[in-house]
Amino acid sequence: MLVGTAFLSACNIEKTENMNPFLTEYNTPFGVPPFDLIENEHFIPAFEEGMKLQQAEIDAIVNNNDPATFENTIEALDISGEVLHKVNGVFFRLRSAETNDELDSIARVIMPKLTAHNSSISLNQELFKRVNELYANKESMGLNEEQAMVLKKTFRGFVRGGANLKGEAKERIKEIDKKLSMLTMQFGDNLLKETNNYQLVIENETDLAGLPESVRSAASDAARAAGKEGLWVFTLQKPSWIPFLQYAENRELREDIYSAMFMRSNNGNEYDNNKLITEILELRIERANLLGYETHAAYVLEERMAKEAENVYDLLMQVWDPALEKAKEEAAMMQKMIDRDGGNFQLASWDWWYYAEKIRKEKYALDEEEVRSYFSLEAVKTGLFDVVNKLYGLTFEPRKDLPVYNEEVMPYEVKESDGSHLGIIYMDFHPRPGKRGGAWSTSIRRAHVKEGEKVTPVHLIVMNFTRPTGDKPALLSFDEALTFFHEFGHALHSMLTKCEYLTVSGTSVATDFVELPSQIMENWCAHPEVLKTYAKHYQTGEVIPDELIAKLEAASKFNQGFVTVEYIAASILDMDFHTLKDAGGINANEFEEASMKRIGLIDEIIPRYKSNYFQHIFAGGYSAGYYSYMWSEVLDKDAFNAFVETSLFDQATSTSFRENILEKGGSKEEMEMYVNFRGAEPTIDALLKGRGLN
């Protein structure tokens, strides 16, 4: 996808409008995006035309002389912007999974325009007047349950967007939104560039001591790709730096790569995020104040299950104390091993992964490389498909005929048990320079009903799994297998929705509820009964032996102090930032240090995400919400017990979960959906037990 500097010129815009794939019906199976036809030069004209068309639709709603009704106002608003949805669904997915300098340039041009366009809708006084009138008369309108929720969320969206503001305050909200869109985008761009800029190049093979052959082979492949034939290259992609920390005997090199990881965008260079953090926090506080909230967290949590910051801190601290105690025990165990082996140093954060792996081997006789041999990508995928088929009757058919944005991407058609089409899932598995780190699941097109016909979903799952090396297929760590099941749970939420309206379709739920459908899937991934159906040796086809399953189970609670502490530390850091009432002149490093000192974080552990690369909260949708994974874990552990109490694939239970959770989208209050499935609200007990902290 190439483009020259002329993509901004008016003549080019005029030229491409006649052939722009976004501006016509997609002539593809199931209406998936024609990635093979889309060029970078198509995006700006499509965005501009999409905004123009949606504005015309908004004007038609506002200028309608008929009295406001659900159909001519709320429904019309919900379905508006079809072209904009199409281009959004492609552009921002590519910006995360397949970006380049041209796309980055386009984003800098289009983001202010897009933000201004969205503000013009959310702050349209005449439009809000019609919505407000309907909301005031909601009880007498005869709406069904989903329509009532769509009306409620639409009304709240306007109010929370600033529709009740007047004069200068309303103009200031527009300005803040525009600035925030640019700052958060820059934060993510800086992080990606900083991540890609680092390489640990090893010339002397003795520096590879301790590394398994598969890790060496991957580093050799990376060196070859970087034009450094005969050397070994390690990067800040997780499949590269984590194995290095686990196995490399060279402590100085472990410190080198780990320090590079946690110092990303904190080096005083052009990709430094310190100034951006301060500006983002200041603007978020100002925005919250304008809307009548004391803090950004108060603004965010009003729409979450937690409701108040106090409830978030309460949950996190209930788990923090036993987790920290466990982490201290783990640190002492590691220090004892260091001393026993003649190491003349104190355990540091860059040592933790190495000694955790040594203890895992010594105490549980569990070898990560042995485990990987039973978790080839294809085996895990087969097992996942089998689990979903047993639960919900779904099948997955590879569709190599569908266009893709990268040759590595695999599309699948999802079908119901009767063979009817349900949707399309694209899967993108391995790291690339243009792909941001981590794993995520996102909609390209959300399910809804248009003119009485169901529009089926198109979904994308993106991971950064270990690549195939030499003659070996992609062999996943057990954590990567869990990640695959997790992200697929989000896709199921998107696929199985039966909502008619985009406002509540699929994953359009509170952030601290959205992780329930994803995290519950991890329970099947790790269950011994399920493991024996899919975990097979990539060479021999041997089913994972009972002895190895027993080791996995025994080791499952090992290192949970570390895992839990690093996560909660990041969650508390997020909350501390976003409960600030004034962020003027804040220094992110000093603030983080004080925050971690307050809760007693030990020196041997750092937060899972330090401030300058905390993309979830400064360039994603998790500000004042990173706690959501633990809030949802309370739900998922309790929900999975419903299956344990019956059977792993009990049809009545899976049908109830599908009908009360997955199909409902955001059409009900989240706790009401949960209680309808489980019969009662959850407690924290199952979470503590699952992590071995009780």
User: Which residues are the active-site residues?
Assistant: 487
- The Cα–Cα gap between 250 and 96 comes to 34
In sequence order, what are the residues at sequence separation of 6 or more whose Cβ sits closer than 8 angstroms to the Cβ of residue 303?
Answer: 156, 160, 510
Beta strands in 221-287 (DSSP E): 232-234
Q: Which residue has the tokens 């010594």?
A: 362
- The Cα–Cα gap between 170 and 176 comes to 10
**CA torsion sign, 184 to 190 to 193 to 197?**
negative
DSSP secondary structure string, 556-601? TTTTHHHHHHHHHHHHHHHHHHHT-S--TT--HHHHHHHHHHHHT-
Could you say which DSSP state residue 238 is in? H
Give me the phi and psi of 175, to 5 degrees please: -65, -40
Taking a C-beta distance cutoff of 8 angstroms, is the pair 49, 114 a contact?
no
In sequence order, what are the residues at sequence separation of 6 or more whose Cβ sits closer than 8 angstroms to the Cβ of residue 652?
Answer: 646
Strand 200-202, strand 410-415: pairing: unpaired
Residue 263 burial (CB count, 10 A): 14
Which residues lie across from 118 on neighbouring strands? none
Q: Is 133 helix (H, G, I), strand (E, B) or coil?
A: helix
Helix axes 516-526, 377-392, angle to 10 degrees: 110
Taking a C-beta distance cutoff of 8 angstroms, is the pair 503, 78 a contact?
yes
- The Cα–Cα gap between 543 and 29 comes to 38
Residue type, 489: G
Token code pair at residue 681: 């609200």
Taking a C-beta distance cutoff of 8 angstroms, is the pair 423, 414 a contact?
yes
- The Cα–Cα gap between 496 and 326 comes to 39
Strand 421-428, strand 458-462: pairing: parallel
Query: Which of these, 560, 516, 572, 509, lies nearest to 314 by C-alpha position?
Result: 572
Token code pair at residue 157: 């969206």
Token code pair at residue 246: 């686990």
- The Cα–Cα gap between 552 and 528 comes to 9
Which residues lie across from 532 on neighbouring strands? none
| CA diameter of the chain | 85
Q: Is 451 helix (H, G, I), strand (E, B) or coil?
A: coil
